[in-house]
Amino acid sequence: MAIAEHDNVFIFVPNLIGYARIILALIAFWFMSTNYVIAGWCYVTSALLDAVDGHAARAFNQSTRFGAMLDQLTDRCGTTGLLVTLAYFYPRYMFWFQLSIAIDVACHWLFMQTSVVVGRSSHKVNENFVMRLYYQKDILTFMCCVNELFYVCLYLLHFTYGPLIFGASLFKILAFLTGPFAVLKALISVMHAYLAGIDLAAVDVRERQEKRQKSEPVAGKKLE
């Protein structure tokens, strides 16, 4: 179905999906400590719509910087909300949830900000081999899904063991299977920050050199 062309970015289809994701995340936050059914369904639906808005952006030629930022912030805030709840449910592991929040927010923010500063068309465009591999569509989708699944399973396990497979909790099995990928994703996030730091420092060096070159002729004239 054809969509009429317009330039009102705020009502582009992928951004409307983004607003729905935010509403679902807020509902999930409200019920997260009391009703795991409502919170779980709303959170998971919000997370799954992350893939839908990307498809919509490409299908309708409505990829925008606003949409990318909206998507990124919704991801970070949604995961942070869940991790805060997990820190409350599992105080013994609070440090690790706090560390996960810090890595997720700080590393992604630095990487996104640096991409803007250096003038990349997208934060997913990078010369580094690991980043190019990570941002391949199937790999990125897989890593994001298993990362969210790990935290969702920890959340559900606070309320219920869920279906049993040969006497073992399905949620616990999934948590064990997805846990290593969540750790790997955190390490890749740290790599995001490392690469962004190098790029940002290179910009600083270039700007200092340019400023120095501009000031040198002025200094030379004063000596004359």
Contact criterion met (CB below 8 Å) for 9 and 70: no
Collect all residues with Cβ–Cβ distance below 8 Å to 12 and sequence separation of at least 6: 57, 60, 62, 64, 67
Task: Name the token pair of 77.
Answer: 């805030």
Distance separating alpha carbons of residues 95 and 30, to the nearest angstrom: 23
**E strand segments, 95-201:** 164-165, 168-169
C-alpha 13/C-alpha 60 separation (Å) is 8
User: Quick check: helix, strand or coil at residue 177?
Assistant: helix
Phi-psi region of 119 (alpha: psi -120 to 50; beta: other; left: phi over 0): left
Is the CB of residue 64 less than 8 Å from the CB of residue 15?
Answer: yes
Q: Is 75 a catalytic residue?
A: yes
- The answer to whether 62 and 56 have CB atoms below 8 angstroms apart is yes
Q: Which residue in 50, 75, 104, 199 is the catalytic one?
A: 75
Two tokens, residue 22: 């935010």
Give catalytic residues, as residue numbers: 75
